[in-house]
């Protein structure tokens, strides 16, 4: 009997554990388990090209969501930050361009790449926080354009138009991380780390203050906050997420070139965030999956209905328009409205609905 | 739990920082908006613990005066000393960290956050933890302070409600809770009773009169009943200048004041 009796301390611990499990909705568990066992039934192409790419783009877009959704700052420079981290890994580490690449070990090259990306993000942030709204978008777009042209024209450091190829992940633990299953788990792991970090920080004093800055910067100053310092710190943290995504993106295609972080990809990151929704960190990942599915299979869809495959961008554009038209706050907004609708009492709320 | 303890400081701490300097000392403060002089050569001294009402019709410069004191606007000329320290060149957040607080005429709250989060943010603003990436634990002192302040302003029932879902009166009460957060040494209340119901006004008066005796404040209030019940001295403003100062009874009986502000429908500005 002694075995089944529990002390007050253990009871309290049990209650706390129960609380912890109960707090996580069932849907989370389903998604979590489905993602973990995905390699058992998904093809290599799906794992590597669809999910791997979605997780990476989701991370870079998450950095934009963190700034835009929590901080009210729409930054188009996130893809450039990611690209810079990719470039730095190629320059500090190994690549096929041995004249430029320094060949330093991964445990120096990767942290250094992230630090450089964070410094870049912080500098751009310190410029951008002096503006608001459309001007923030414009200044960050200008920096993204400058980064694209600079990397394309600079051969001494960035190797100009062709960039770097043969940029491979280290063979850590004897695993070839560019194989589909290891790469899937690698990207899933870092996407999960980024997602839960943003989720956690959103309720920490820093995240709450950032939301306060978004809602009312003047009031935040009147509460003792240095509003600009907070915004710049947010840019630095977002750069860390984008930089991590950028390194994974470089490893995925084993190359980094100016086109990776051009103006088109910079805007794609915004499109992903808008499609998914900027209100919660899951939005960018949903947006990224839809974007990747459209980009990967749009040609097949067009060809199957007898149209030219060259028009696949049109299909992506139409998909984007349809989502934004029906739900300006992305798929998350659509989901939230559906949840609200389900909770309504059809007898009591019908009149209000019609209004 | 007293209101002072809820505000996160002890009586002895407060008295030791109060010292002998004036809580507020304004000398020759002017504020020009182009050719318009919103404030002209204002001299104002408020002693520690003093409760002052600032009255005046619309456009008299009351809120501009607050904005200059807190650093929302930089004064065009003049000196502002807060407990003996010249703060006119300081940004708003530095003045707040020195113990100055204010409420706003139009509620400036964080509508996307809950009541408790709003007060917690206010408590963090003057602490070193404002850049913390770590969530508050169960026994977090700042969170406990925020919970106590929510209790002080009678918002326990709605502490987890989003601010956008609060009534106007509740938003005004939340403004006061936020002004009391951290370790306030002096508070500026900008029309805290505007738009409140008679019951809510009574609650407001109780909160203001229940503040520790050494915690001074200036209150802008159009409701004379509220202003004269919570203030020990009155400053009348007119056209950006100080027009008259005195005890509430003196001001109430002053003929010039009556002609300008209290008497007749014209003078009774609201807003």
pLDDT score for B131 = 79
How high is the ipTM of this complex?
Answer: 0.73
What is the distance between the alpha carbons of residues A66 and A54, in angstroms, rounded to a whole number?
17
Question: Any idea which residue has 């005890």 for tokens?
Answer: B247
Contacts of B104 in chain A (CB under 8 A): 219, 222
Nearest CA in chain A to B184: A223
Nearest CA in chain A to B119: A223
pLDDT(B48) > 70: yes
Transcribe A295-342 into DSSP letters.
Answer: HHHHHHHHHHTT--GGGHHHHHHHHHHHHHHH-TTHHHHHHHHHHHHH
pLDDT score for B261 = 66
What is the distance between the alpha carbons of residues B113 and B130, in angstroms, rounded to a whole number?
16
pLDDT(B138) > 80: no
Inter-chain touch B96–A224, beta carbons under 8 Å: yes
pLDDT, tens digit, for every residue of A174-185? 777 878 889 999
Q: What value, to the nearest 5°, has the Cα angle with vertex B215 and ends B212 and B216?
A: 135
pLDDT, tens digit, for every residue of A105-126? 889 999 999 999 999 999 999 9
pLDDT, tens digit, for every residue of A225-270? 889 999 999 999 999 999 999 999 999 998 899 988 888 899 989 9
Query: Is A199 within 8 Å of chain B by CB?
Result: no
- Residue spans of the domains in chain A: they are 46-301+310-345
pLDDT score for B265 = 45
C-alpha distance from residue B241 to each of B67, B188, B259 (Å) = 15, 18, 17
C-alpha distance from residue B2 to each of A316, B6, B9, B103, B140 (Å) = 61, 6, 10, 21, 19
- Rg, C-alpha atoms of chain B: 18
Inter-chain touch A215–B112, beta carbons under 8 Å: yes
Phi, psi of B54 (to 5 degrees): -110, 120
Q: Residue B224 corresponds to which tokens in the numbers above?
A: 């004379």
pLDDT score for A60 = 95
Contacts of A329 in chain B (CB under 8 A): none
- Supply the mean pLDDT for chain B: 81
Contacts of A201 in chain B (CB under 8 A): 133
**Which of B112, B125, B134 minimises the CB distance to A223?**
B125
Inter-chain touch A222–B131, beta carbons under 8 Å: no
pLDDT, tens digit, for every residue of A217-233? 888 888 888 899 999 99
Q: Are strands B233-238 and B241-246 parallel, antiparallel or unpaired?
A: antiparallel
Q: What value, to the nearest 5°, has the Cα angle with vertex B261 and ends B227 and B55?
A: 35
Domain B3-108+180-264 has CATH 2.30.40.10: no
Would you give the DSSP letter of residue B162?
B
Chain B contacts to A (CB-CB under 8 A): 70-72, 91-93, 96-97, 102, 104, 108-113, 117, 120-122, 124-126, 129-136, 178, 181-182
pLDDT score for B11 = 38
pLDDT score for A49 = 85
Size of interface A-B (CB pairs under 8 A): 91
**Looking at A8-12, B88-92, B180-184, which range is the least confident one?**
A8-12
Phi, psi of A93 (to 5 degrees): -95, -140
Contacts of A200 in chain B (CB under 8 A): 135
In chain B, the percentage of residues whose pLDDT exceeds 90 is 10
Contacts of A224 in chain B (CB under 8 A): 93, 96-97, 125-126, 130, 182
What's the gap in Å between the CA of B147 and the closest CA on chain A?
Answer: 15
- Residue spans of the domains in chain B: they are 3-108+180-264
pLDDT(B100) > 60: yes
What is the distance between the alpha carbons of residues A83 and A263, in angstroms, rounded to a whole number?
12
**Which of B109, B113, B133 minimises the CB distance to A206?**
B133
Helix (H, G, I), strand (E, B) or coil at A270: helix
Q: Residue B143 corresponds to which tokens in the numbers above?
A: 């969170």
pLDDT(B16) > 50: no
pLDDT, tens digit, for every residue of A19-66? 666 777 787 888 888 888 888 888 888 888 899 999 999 999 999 999
Q: Residue B62 corresponds to which tokens in the numbers above?
A: 């009351």
What is the distance between the alpha carbons of residues A248 and A52, in angstroms, rounded to a whole number?
9
Q: Residue B231 corresponds to which tokens in the numbers above?
A: 């203030």
Inter-chain touch A205–B129, beta carbons under 8 Å: yes
pLDDT score for A66 = 94
What is the distance between the alpha carbons of residues B170 and B154, in angstroms, rounded to a whole number?
9
State the average pLDDT over residues B162-187: 87
In chain A, the percentage of residues whose pLDDT exceeds 70 is 91
State the average pLDDT over residues A141-146: 94
**Which of B72, B124, B181 minimises the CB distance to A218?**
B72
What's the gap in Å between the CA of A326 and the closest CA on chain B?
Answer: 23
């Amino acid at each position: 009997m002694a075995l089944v009796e529990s002390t007050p301390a253990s009871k309290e611990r049990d209650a706390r554990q129960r609380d912890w499990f109960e707090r996580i909705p069932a849907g989370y568990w389903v998604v979590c388990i489905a993602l973990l066992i995905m390699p058992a039934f998904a093809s290599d192409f799906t794992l590597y090209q669809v999910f791997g790419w979605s997780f990476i783009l989701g991370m870079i877009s998450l950095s934009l969501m963190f700034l835009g959704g929590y901080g009210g700052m729409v930054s188009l420079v996130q893809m450039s930050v990611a690209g810079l981290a990719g470039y730095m890994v190629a320059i500090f580490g190994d690549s096929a361009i041995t004249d430029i690449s320094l060949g330093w070990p991964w445990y120096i090259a990767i942290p250094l790449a992230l630090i450089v990306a964070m410094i870049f993000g912080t500098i751009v942030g310190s410029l951008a926080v002096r503006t608001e709204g459309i001007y923030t978008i414009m200044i960050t777009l200008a920096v993204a354009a400058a980064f694209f042209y600079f990397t394309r024209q600079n051969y001494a450091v960035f190797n100009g138009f062709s960039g770097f190829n043969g940029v491979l992940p280290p063979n850590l633990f004897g695993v070839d991380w560019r194989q589909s299953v290891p790469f899937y788990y690698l990207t899933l792991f870092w996407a999960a780390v980024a997602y839960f970090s943003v989720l956690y920080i959103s309720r920490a004093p820093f995240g709450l203050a950032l939301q306060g800055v978004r809602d009312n910067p003047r009031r935040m100053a009147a509460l003792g906050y240095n509003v600009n310092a907070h915004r710049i710190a947010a840019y630095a943290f977002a750069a860390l997420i984008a930089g991590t995504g950028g390194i994974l993106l470089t490893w995925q295609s084993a190359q980094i070139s100016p086109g990776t972080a051009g103006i088109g990809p910079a805007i794609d990151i915004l499109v992903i965030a808008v499609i998914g929704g900027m209100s919660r960190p899951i939005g960018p990942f949903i947006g990224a999956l839809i974007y990747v599915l459209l980009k990967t299979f749009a040609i097949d869809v067009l060809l199957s209905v007898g149209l030219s495959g060259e028009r696949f961008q049109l299909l992506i554009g139409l998909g984007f328009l349809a989502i934004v038209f029906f739900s300006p706050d992305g798929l998350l907004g659509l989901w939230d409205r559906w949840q609200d609708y389900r909770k309504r009492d059809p007898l009591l709320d019908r009149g209000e609905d019609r209004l | 739990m007293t209101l002072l303890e809820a505000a996160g400081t002890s009586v002895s701490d407060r008295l030791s920082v109060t010292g002998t300097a004036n809580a507020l000392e304004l000398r020759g403060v002017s504020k020009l908006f182009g050719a318009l002089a919103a404030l002209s050569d204002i001299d104002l001294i408020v002693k520690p613990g003093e409760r002052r009402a600032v009255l005046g019709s619309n456009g008299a410069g009351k809120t501009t005066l607050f904005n200059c004191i807190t650093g929302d606007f930089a004064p065009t000329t003049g000196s502002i000393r807060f407990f003996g320290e010249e703060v006119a060149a300081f940004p708003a957040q530095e003045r707040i960290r020195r113990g100055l607080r204010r409420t706003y005429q139009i509620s400036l709250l964080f509508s996307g956050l809950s009541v408790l989060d709003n007060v917690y943010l206010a408590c963090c603003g003057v602490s070193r933890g404002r850049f913390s990436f770590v969530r508050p634990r169960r026994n977090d002192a700042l969170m406990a302070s925020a919970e106590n302040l929510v209790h002080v302003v009678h918002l326990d029932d709605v502490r987890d409600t989003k601010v956008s879902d609060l009534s106007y009166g509740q938003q005004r009460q939340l403004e006061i809770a936020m002004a009391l957060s951290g370790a306030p040494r002096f508070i500026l209340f900008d029309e805290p009773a505007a738009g409140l119901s008679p019951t809510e006004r009574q609650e407001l008066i109780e909160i203001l009169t229940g503040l520790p005796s050494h915690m001074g404040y200036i209150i802008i209030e159009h409701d004379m009943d509220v202003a004269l019940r919570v203030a020990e001295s009155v400053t009348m403003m007119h056209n950006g200048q100080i027009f008259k100062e005195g005890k509430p009874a003196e001001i109430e009986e002053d003929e010039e004041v009556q002609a300008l502000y209290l008497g007749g429908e014209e003078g009774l500005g609201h807003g």
